[in-house]
């Protein structure tokens, strides 16, 4: 019986990803909620600042990015919540595979069902706010990269607050400041596309932030999870 | 060297050391503060453009500089407590947060007071003010996280992680806010360009920066002493200390 | 065939373990060493620190204790929480288990579920199962386990009498194969096997 060894880190990571995605698909409402939230908040802006197309188009990059940020923020709390509640998290911490890759799988699953999905449907909401078509691809590409950063940073907040009963509001206070660079360069991407300027530098900046977050955020997430399980 | 490091982990030793440091550092820092601020407010020439209102820099700039440094003090203390499991580093981290937050708040408040005569408005979304505001949020986040945990040892570790994440992010946030401001900067309130400062204005400023550093250290130590007593209230040496002072 | 043929000697060792919770010392100077074939029952009243001890031994609690712990072999920990996902079937719960110890064959998973009395429930979503059945899904991991060391916190909770007997049988066969078991339990075990006992008293002395 000794010959059966534990799965390698990468295959375990893929198994976790598959598990998390299956869980997400089995509860489609949870996948739909961030999108619905996004749609509803986007609908609030014309009511708040007036329906004039030129006004809306001017604010559209900022609105779309801020709402994407909020919907990501609200769903980030759930990355580890159910696994903490049912005891899966303590089992994960005892797994022989490196926790670094395991938490990356959790965050990747969250990114796929919130950020990537939102990036894919973002042109729809861009149209509702009269954002010119020329800026749609850069909006989607920016959201695609930026939401990865937001999921990773959100994962840090989630890991630190998962053990707390009243974590919901706290996580926003902890991680919103860290979202600001993403917001700045995300809206700048859309603005550059609107002005006819090259968008690649901004996408490259968002991409490098994503790389930095992939490298460092799992360390903080792992440490945060160990603290939360131990608390 | 290593034994010295271990001594810092001993609460009674640290309590006594901080007490003797405070005894001479506090008068010195108050004196330096009085000299720096007094010199700046009373004896330097008024600015040719801003008149006397610029004098608030003798409080604003030191508060801002030390507030930022305070975050790094907090994060380094947090890192030490995580790596070496040193409880006194926890204490230092937790003690630094409110002092740093207060300094950040002072910097924001004096910035607003300065902004009114200079720009005609209390608040401008200038790069530096925005960065200070974000720094305040970071401090408040750490403090809120600490309060949220019932288990204070876990709270300290969680805050250490958060402040370390903050140190990685602060340069990125500052750079991006700087860049964002240069993109949106309205032409009417352009202040960048070479900002030369006359030596007669600079020396009192440097003195008050040093004074603020010293004052920060004093507040930090005083805060730490209070927390050490709180944590060690059931141990023999604190009981003895309490009975001696009665 | 022994599951610990590769490592002779100790499966777990802790020395001079002192555990403090809040401002209360649960126990101090505790030495535990576990050899292949040993079953250790940790006893004590509620609040004596049984769960805390197990979490420290497992490596989940990494602060708040003093002492040296060495864990030379992989371990399986079962705590109060069942780690069963309501949205997954028992089969998926075991095959994709987050403890990451082995890629189990589907036939092994089904056999393990049958052994805990869940044959026929392999593909029922777990939210349709009772709490006791969740527990049994979790205990099915013992049948699949290749880890030499088991740390089990109240394994008999919500298990009926037959289940208890078969678990006891499982512990004995695990020990006979060269494994070791640490378990906490309120009730006395009725096993035909020499037990080591550790009594934790709320005062701190052993």
Q: Report the percent of chain C where pLDDT is more than 90.
A: 9
Is the sign of the CA dihedral C122, C123, C126, C127 positive or negative? negative
Q: Please check whether residue C30 lies inside any domain of the structure.
A: no
Inform me whether the C-beta atom of residue A156 falls under 8 Å from chain B C-beta atoms: yes
Distance from CA of C195 to the nearest CA of A (A): 25
- In sign, the C-alpha dihedral spanning A144, A18, A96, C135 is positive
Quote the minimal CA–CA distance from C58 to chain A in Å. Answer: 8
The residue ranking higher by pLDDT, C49 or A181, is A181
**Residues of chain A contacting C98 with CB distance shorter than 8 Å:** 16, 19, 83, 88-89, 91-92, 95, 102
Q: Looking at the 3D structure of chain A, how many domains does it have? A: 1
From A3-17, A25-39, A145-159, B157-171, the region with the lowest mean pLDDT: A3-17
Q: What's phi and psi for C40, nearest 5 deg?
A: -115, 120
Q: Are A96 and A177 in contact (CB under 8 A)?
A: no
Structure tokens at B98: 């409110």
Q: Which residues pair with C184 in a beta bridge?
A: C42, C153
pLDDT at B164: 94
3-state per-residue secondary structure call for C107-139: HHHHHHHHHCCCCCCCCCCHHHCCHHHHHHHHH
How many structural domains are present in chain C? 1
Instruction: Compute the mean pLDDT over every residue in chain A, rounded to the nearest whole number.
Output: 91
Taking alpha carbons only, the member of C100, B137, C9 closest to residue A99 is: C100
Give mean pLDDT, residues B218-232: 90
Q: Do A4 and C58 touch (CB under 8 A)?
A: no
Specify the pLDDT at position B196: 61
Is A2 domain-assigned? no
Q: What is the tens place of the pLDDT at every residue in A38-75?
A: 999 999 999 998 888 888 888 999 999 999 999 999 89
- The answer as to whether A137 is a domain residue is yes
Report the range of poorest mean pLDDT among A65-74, A128-137, B185-194, B232-241.
B185-194
Chain A contact for B177, CB < 8 A? yes
Give just the sign of the alpha carbon dihedral C132, A82, B162, B59: negative
Q: Are strands C12-21 and C149-153 parallel, antiparallel or unpaired?
A: unpaired
Alpha carbons B244 and B124: distance in angstroms, whole number: 54
C48 vs A189: CA distance, rounded Å: 59
Is B176 in contact with A164 (Cβ distance < 8 A)? Answer: no
Question: Using beta carbons and an 8 Å cutoff, which residues of B are at the interface with C?
Answer: 85, 153-154, 157, 234
| CA diameter of chain A | 72
The whole-number average pLDDT for the span B102-125 is 87
Chain A neighbours, 3+ Cβ pairs < 8 A: B, C
Mode of pairing for the β-strands spanning C12-21 and C24-34:
antiparallel
Mean pLDDT, residues A122-135: 91
Residue B246: pLDDT band with limits 50, 70, 90: low
d(CA C190, nearest CA chain B) in Å:
39
CB A36 within 8 A of CB A75: no
Q: Beta strand pairing status for C12-21 and C65-70?
A: antiparallel
Q: Which residues of A42-69 are buried (b: 16+ CB within 10 A; e: fewer)?
A: beebbeeeeeeeeebbbbbbebbbbbbb
pLDDT number for residue B193: 45
- Retrieve residue B27's tokens: 């008068």
pLDDT digits (tens, 9 = 90+) for C89-120: 999 988 888 888 877 888 888 998 988 888 88
Structure-block tokens of residue A106: 């959790």
User: How far is the C-alpha of C107 from the C-alpha of C144, rounded, in Å?
Assistant: 11
Residue C149 resides in a domain: yes
Would residue C144 count as lying in a domain? yes
Q: Which domain holds residue A222?
A: 9-230
Say yes or no to pLDDT of A193 above 70. Answer: yes
Q: Using one digit for the tens of pLDDT, what is the confidence trace for A198-231?
A: 999 999 999 999 999 999 999 999 999 999 998 7
Residue B204 sits at the vertex; the CA angle it makes with B223 and B57, to the nearest 5 degrees, is 75
Residue B133: predicted pLDDT: 93
- Asked if pLDDT for residue A1 goes beyond 70, the answer is no
Q: Does pLDDT of B186 surpass 60?
A: no
For residue C24, the chain B residue with the least C-alpha distance is B234
Question: What is the CATH number for C153?
Answer: 3.40.50.300
Alpha helix (H) residue ranges in chain A = 9-26, 28-49, 53-76, 81-86, 88-94, 99-111, 117-128, 136-161, 167-195, 200-230
Residue B6 to residue A198: CA distance in whole angstroms = 56
Quote the tokens at residue C175.
């020990």
Q: Is the pLDDT of residue C8 over 70?
A: no
Which of C146, C139, C151, C160 is CA-nearest to residue C41?
C151
Q: Is residue A49 part of a domain?
A: yes
**Beta bridge partners of residue A170, listed in sequence order:** none
Task: Provide the CA A76 distance to its chain's centre, in angstroms.
Answer: 7
pLDDT digits (tens, 9 = 90+) for A71-127: 999 899 889 999 999 999 999 999 989 999 999 999 999 999 999 999 999 999 999
- In eight-state DSSP terms, residue A194 is H
Domain residue limits at C156: 37-50+75-196
Nearest-neighbour CA in chain A from C3: distance (Å): 6
Specify the pTM: 0.90
Interchain contact, A95 vs C99, CB within 8 Å: yes
Residues of C in contact with A101 (CB under 8 A): none
Average pLDDT over residues B186-207: 64
Q: How many residues does chain B have?
A: 246
In sequence order, which residues have a C-beta less than 8 Å from that of residue B186 and are 6 or more positions away? Answer: none
Helices A9-26 and A28-49, axial angle in degrees (round to 10): 70
| Among the listed residues A210, A160, A157, the one whose alpha carbon sits nearest the alpha carbon of residue A181 | A210
Q: How confident is the model at residue B175 (pLDDT cuts 50, 70, 90)?
A: confident
Residues 6+ apart with CB under 8 A from A17: A105, A108, A109
Beta carbons of B106 and B136 less than 8 angstroms apart: no
Q: With contact defined as beta carbons under 8 Å apart, do B37 and B106 qualify?
A: no
Q: Where are the domains of chain B?
A: 19-43+50-187+197-244
User: Helices A53-76 and A117-128 sit at what angle, rounded to 10 degrees?
Assistant: 160
Count CB pairs under 8 A between chains A and B: 76
Residue pair B214/B21 in contact by the 8 Å Cβ criterion: no
Please give the pLDDT value at position B197.
66
List the single best residue of A29, A80, A90, A222 to mutate versus C (max C Cβ within 10 A): A90
Paired residues of A52 in beta bridges: none
Residue B191 pLDDT exceeds 60:
no
Any domain includes C201: no
- What phi-psi label fits residue A176: left (phi over 0), alpha (psi between -120 and 50 degrees) or beta? alpha
Chain C residues near residue A88 by CB distance under 8 angstroms: 83, 85, 98
Q: What is the mean pLDDT of residues B204-228?
A: 91
Enumerate chain C positions whose Cβ falls within 8 A of a Cβ in B: 23, 63-64
Compute the average pLDDT of residues B28-49: 82
Give the per-residue pLDDT at C197.
83
- A229/C98 Cβ within 8 A: no
Average confidence (pLDDT) over A173-177? 91
**Hey, are the CB atoms on B140 and A180 less than 8 Å from each other?**
no
Of C24 and C49, more confident: C49
Q: Is the per-residue pLDDT at B184 higher than 50?
A: yes
- What residues of B are in contact with residue A167 (Cβ under 8 Å)? 148
pLDDT, average across residues B219-228: 92
Sequence-separated (6 or more) residues with CB below 8 Å from residue B154: A163, A227, A228, A230, A231, C63
Give me the sign of the Cα torsion angle B52, B58, B63, B64.
positive
User: Does A4 map to a domain?
Assistant: no
Instruction: Pick from A66-75, B108-117, B234-243 the range whose average pLDDT is largest.
Output: A66-75
């Amino acid at each position: 019986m000794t010959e059966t060894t534990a799965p390698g880190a990468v295959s375990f990571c893929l198994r976790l990803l598959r598990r998390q995605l299956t869980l997400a698909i089995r509860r489609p409402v949870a996948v739909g909620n961030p999108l619905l939230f996004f749609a509803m908040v986007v609908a609030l802006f014309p009511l708040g600042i007036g329906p004039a197309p030129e006004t809306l188009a001017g604010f559209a990059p900022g609105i779309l990015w801020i709402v994407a940020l909020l919907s990501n923020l609200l769903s980030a709390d759930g990355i580890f919540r159910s696994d903490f509640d049912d005891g899966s998290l303590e089992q994960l911490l005892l797994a022989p595979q490196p926790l670094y890759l395991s938490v990356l799988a959790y965050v990747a699953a969250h990114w796929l069902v919130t950020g990537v999905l939102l990036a894919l449907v973002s042109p729809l909401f861009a149209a509702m706010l009269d954002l010119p078509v020329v800026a749609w691809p850069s909006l989607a590409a920016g959201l695609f990269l930026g939401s990865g950063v937001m999921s990773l940073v959100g994962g840090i907040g989630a890991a630190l607050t998962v053990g707390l009963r009243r974590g919901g509001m706290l996580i926003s206070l902890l991680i919103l400041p860290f979202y600001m660079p993403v917001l700045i360069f995300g809206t700048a991407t859309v603005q550059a596309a609107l002005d006819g300027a090259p968008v690649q530098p901004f996408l490259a900046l968002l991409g490098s932030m994503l790389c930095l977050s992939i490298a460092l955020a799992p360390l903080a997430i792992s440490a945060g999870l160990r603290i939360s399980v131990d608390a | 060297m290593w034994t010295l490091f271990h001594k810092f982990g001993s609460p009674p030793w640290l309590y006594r050391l901080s007490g003797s440091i405070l005894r001479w550092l506090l008068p010195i820092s108050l004196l330096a503060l009085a000299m720096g601020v007094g010199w700046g407010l009373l004896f330097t020439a008024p600015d040719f453009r801003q008149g006397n209102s610029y004098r608030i820099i003798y409080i604003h700039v030191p508060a801002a500089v030390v507030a930022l440094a305070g975050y790094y003090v907090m994060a380094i203390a947090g890192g030490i407590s995580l790596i070496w499991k040193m409880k006194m580093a926890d204490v230092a981290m937790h003690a630094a947060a409110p002092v740093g937050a207060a300094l950040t708040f002072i910097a924001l408040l004096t910035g607003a007071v300065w902004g009114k005569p200079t720009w005609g408005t209390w608040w401008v979304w200038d790069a530096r003010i925005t960065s200070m505001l974000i720094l305040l949020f970071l401090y408040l986040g750490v403090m809120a996280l600490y309060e949220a945990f019932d288990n204070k040892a876990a709270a300290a570790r969680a805050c250490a992680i958060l402040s370390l994440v903050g140190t990685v992010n602060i340069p990125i946030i500052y750079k991006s806010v700087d860049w964002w401001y240069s993109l949106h900067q309205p032409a009417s309130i352009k202040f960048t360009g070479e900002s030369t400062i006359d030596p007669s204005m600079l020396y009192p400023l440097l003195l008050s920066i040093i004074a603020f550093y010293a004052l920060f250290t004093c507040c930090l130590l005083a805060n730490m002493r209070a927390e050490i007593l709180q944590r060690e209230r059931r141990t023999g040496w604190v009981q003895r200390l309490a009975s001696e002072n009665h | 065939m022994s599951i610990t043929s590769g490592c002779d000697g100790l499966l777990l060792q802790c020395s001079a373990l002192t555990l403090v919770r809040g401002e209360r010392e649960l126990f101090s100077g505790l030495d535990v060493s576990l050899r292949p074939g040993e079953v250790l029952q940790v006893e004590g009243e509620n609040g004596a620190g049984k769960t805390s001890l197990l979490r420290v031994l497992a490596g989940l609690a990494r602060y708040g204790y003093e002492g040296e712990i060495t864990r030379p072999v992989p371990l399986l920990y079962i705590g109060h929480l069942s780690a069963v996902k309501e949205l997954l079937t028992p089969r998926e719960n075991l095959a994709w288990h987050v403890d990451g110890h082995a890629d189990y064959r589907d036939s092994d998973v089904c056999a393990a579920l049958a052994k805990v009395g869940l044959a026929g429930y392999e593909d029922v979503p777990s939210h349709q199962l009772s709490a006791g059945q969740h527990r049994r899904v979790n205990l099915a991991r013992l049948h699949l386990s290749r880890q030499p060391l088991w740390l089990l916190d109240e394994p008999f909770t919500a298990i009926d009498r037959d289940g208890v007997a078969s678990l006891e049988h499982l512990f004995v066969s695990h020990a006979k194969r060269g494994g070791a078991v640490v378990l906490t339990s309120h009730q006395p075990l009725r096993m035909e096997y020499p037990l080591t006992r550790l009594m934790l008293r709320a005062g701190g002395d052993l």
